[in-house]
Amino acid sequence: MSNEYKPSVRLVSYLPEAPKIIAVASKLTISHKPVDTIKQKITEEEVRKWIQELILHGHGSPLEHSIYIFEITYKYFSIKSFVS
């Protein structure tokens, strides 16, 4: 298969604060604090912890708060998709 026919995937764009937004959304479900307060005070370590806990417990809905846009190309056409 020549290079011109090999499929390719390219990240076109993403929401840079996606991990933080995901963690804040998940923490908000058990906190009485306003979202702005949570967002200002959450640390990088807490972001990692909250995302790991979401995955561990199979709670995926906060993961939908992130946006990644990929371009998938194969042969003579492109498939553009928004993936949450």
**Two structure tokens written together for 57:** 């417990």
- pLDDT tens-digit series, residues 3-37: 666 888 999 998 899 999 999 999 998 999 999 99
- CB of 15 within 8 A of CB of 66? yes
The H-assigned helical ranges of the chain are 18-28, 35-41, 44-56
Domain that holds residue 26: 3-83
pTM of this structure = 0.65
Number of domains in the chain: 1
Q: CA–CA separation, 2 vs 61, rounded Å? A: 40
Residue 42 has pLDDT above 90, yes or no: yes
Which of 41-45, 66-70, 72-76 comes out lowest in average pLDDT? 72-76
